[in-house]
């Protein structure tokens, strides 16, 4: 598999999230907008005075608009500020980082609760501030009585972002990754010590923000990789946490290794099982997994040159369609079952020699700009790098070992920071915890939630049927999250409404589902 395709998969993992969710949420990084731009004033007009800062604790905030990138999604009015922290905690007078912070004030000051909600993004490498417009609707009820605080983790968004532009790698050897990674490393080291952009530093930053805001306790919502940050924060500062929501959780005890390959195959078995159980789908499309294996074998042996229509420009283009293209596309679609319901049809069409649709979808932008890849490498290489090894049992999976091998090669040349001795210890204690998992999640399966709750007696797991990765907006989940934050009691939640979540039927034609 070529480096270009390895990066296509890696960027899909990042844009969807290493434990993340940007792709199906449809978000791209957006700069803060200070609001509607006024028309140019006449030369004799007196310039309007800037709005007076609004204080939250000792941090000064000014009005800003968090712009939505997805058509039809509203922007979010917020207050924006920053807090300077030391890059290296052992050198408080050394180089600093300005953490970007967005505060969405509660609707009703008269009923304001003292404990805000801190939301933590996935990736690693995503900006929670940039991504918030795609999430905000699910937390609208929380805002009635609580402030919401968003802190761009160091290395992301506008908190000294560590971005890499790997360009378009055309070399066919995995070794091409190494010089590209070294070039990124060398460029970033001109302004950052890459050893200090991991989870432990992010936890310290969150608590620094909490202190600066004058908050005694907070509620945490973490999604995907953000669940690692949330668990680590609760371990280091248990007296500061009132409640935790872990959406698509990864246990502290788990290193990523090559979890992607087996977890994806397990999710595909469940998702493709919808077609196998549907007589019309099975009769028309056969066994989706067998069809996928046939297609991947064909592409590995003789990848065809395919003409397709570019969705962005409408122009006709051509490309060599590889097994890596298809593997990355399958994994992207698996994150959201409403999209993966199209996969059996796409794969069947390709096995009939009609490759155009797969080629077009596989050539779409993988949102490299949505992820600060340098920050992601600082996290993974320091905290999980030793587990990135090829395994014989993963050879015949859809992803195989290519991703683990590629990331291991990058980590050999990337600076690594120190990790606390108890970093892998499970989160323990009586803190109220609500764990949310999608039944069909291809990266953080429900078993992960069960593992986490073994040491959290005041926790509860909700598995959302037919759902994939990051389930905060599915069905009545926003209502349940709000009730949990209000009561800090997961056990009393009436989650029967989740049984109304529908399974997505498989497509048997491009006209839609079978009647």
Asked if 89 and 418 touch (Cβ cutoff 8 Å), the reply is: no
Nearest-5° Cα angle at 488, 487 to 493: 70
| Residue 21 confidence (pLDDT) | 32
User: Which residues are CB-neighbours of 283 under 8 A, at least 6 positions away?
Assistant: none
DSSP states of 93-161 as a string?
TS-EEEEEEEEE--S-GGG--SSPEEEE--TTT--HHHHGGGTGGGGTTGGGT--EEEEPPTTSTTSS-
- The number of residues making up the chain comes to 515
Residue 236 CA to residue 223 CA, distance in Å, equals 19
Residue 429 CA to residue 457 CA, distance in Å, equals 7
Nearest-5° Cα angle at 296, 290 to 298: 100
Asked if 224 and 20 touch (Cβ cutoff 8 Å), the reply is: yes
| Residue 457 confidence (pLDDT) | 98
Q: Output DSSP code: residue 473.
A: T
Residue 115 CA to residue 106 CA, distance in Å, equals 11
Nearest-5° Cα angle at 144, 138 to 147: 85
| Residue 176 confidence (pLDDT) | 78
Q: How many CB atoms lie within 10 A of CB 408?
A: 20
Residue 426 CA to residue 331 CA, distance in Å, equals 28
CA Rg value for the chain: 23
Q: What is the mean pLDDT of each run of 10 residues along the chain (515 residues)?
A: 43 44 29 35 58 92 89 88 97 97 95 97 95 96 98 98 76 73 97 98 98 98 98 98 98 90 96 94 96 97 94 88 92 93 96 94 65 96 94 93 90 97 98 98 97 98 97 98 98 97 93 71
Task: At 461, give phi and psi (nearest 5°).
Answer: -105, 130
Which residues lie across from 118 on neighbouring strands? 149, 220
Task: At 100, give phi and psi (nearest 5°).
Answer: -80, 130
Report the relative pairing of strands 117-120 and 148-151 from DSSP bridges.
parallel
Residue 24 CA to residue 376 CA, distance in Å, equals 19
Structural domains of the chain ordered from first start: 1-24+53-515 (3.40.50.1820)
Asked if 155 and 126 touch (Cβ cutoff 8 Å), the reply is: no
Handedness of CA 138, 472, 276, 443 (dihedral sign): positive
For residue 435, the number of C-alpha atoms closer than 13 Å in the C-beta half-sphere is 30
Name which of 300, 301, 349, 348 is nearest 325 in CA terms.
300
| Residue 173 confidence (pLDDT) | 53
């Amino acid at each position: 598999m070529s480096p270009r395709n390895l990066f296509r998969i890696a960027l899909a993992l990042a844009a969807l999230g290493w434990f993340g969710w940007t792709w199906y949420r449809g978000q791209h990084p957006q700069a803060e907008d200070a609001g509607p731009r006024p028309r140019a004033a006449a030369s004799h007009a007196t310039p309007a005075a800037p709005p007076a800062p609004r204080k939250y604790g000792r941090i000064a905030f000014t009005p800003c608009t968090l712009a939505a990138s997805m058509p039809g999604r509203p922007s979010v009015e917020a207050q924006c500020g920053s807090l300077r922290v030391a890059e290296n905690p052992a050198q408080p007078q050394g180089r600093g980082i300005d953490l970007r912070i967005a505060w969405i004030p509660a609707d009703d000051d008269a009923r304001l609760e003292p404990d805000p909600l801190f939301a933590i993004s996935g990736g690693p490498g995503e900006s929670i501030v940039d991504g918030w417009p795609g999430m905000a609707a699910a937390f609208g009820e929380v805002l009635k009585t609580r402030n919401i605080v968003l802190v761009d983790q160091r290395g992301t968004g506008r908190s000294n972002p560590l971005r890499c532009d790997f360009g378009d790698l055309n070399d066919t050897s995995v070794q091409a990754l190494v010089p590209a990674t070294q070039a990124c490393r060398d460029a970033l080291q001109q302004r950052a010590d890459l050893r200090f952009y991991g989870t432990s530093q992010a936890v310290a930053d969150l608590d620094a923000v909490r202190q600066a805001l004058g908050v005694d306790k907070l509620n945490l919502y973490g999604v995907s990789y953000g669940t690692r940050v949330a668990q680590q924060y609760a371990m280091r500062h248990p007296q500061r946490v009132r409640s935790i929501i872990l959406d698509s959780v990864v246990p502290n005890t788990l290193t990523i290794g090559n979890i992607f390959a087996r977890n994806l195959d397990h999710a595909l078995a469940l998702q493709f099982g919808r077609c196998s159980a549907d007589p019309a789908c099975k009769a028309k499309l056969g066994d989706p997994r067998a069809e996928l294996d046939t297609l991947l074998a064909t592409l590995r042996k003789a990848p065809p040159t395919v003409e397709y229509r570019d969705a962005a420009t409408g122009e006709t283009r051509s490309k060599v369609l590889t097994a890596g293209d298809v593997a990355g596309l399958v994994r992207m679609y698996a994150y959201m079952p409403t999209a993966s319901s199209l996969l059996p049809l796409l794969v069947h069409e390709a096995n009939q020699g009609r490759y155009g649709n797969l080629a077009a979808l596989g050539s779409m932008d993988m949102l490299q700009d949505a992820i600060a890849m340098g920050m992601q490498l600082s996290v993974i290489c320091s905290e999980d790098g030793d587990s990135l090894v090829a395994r014989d049992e993963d050879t015949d999976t859809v992803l195989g070992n290519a991703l683990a091998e590629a990331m291991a090669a990058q980590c050999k040349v990337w600076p690594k920071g120190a990790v606390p001795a108890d970093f892998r210890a499970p989160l323990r204690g009586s803190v109220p915890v609500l764990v949310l998992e999608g039944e069909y999640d291809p990266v953080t399966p429900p078993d992960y939630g069960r593992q986490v709750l073994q040491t959290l007696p005041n926790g509860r797991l909700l598995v959302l049927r037919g759902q994939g990765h990051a389930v905060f907006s599915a069905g009545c989940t926003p209502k349940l999250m709000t009730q949990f934050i209000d009561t800090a009691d997961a056990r009393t939640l009436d989650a029967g409404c989740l049984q109304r979540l529908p399974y997505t039927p498989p497509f048997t034609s491009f006209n839609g589902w079978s009647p």
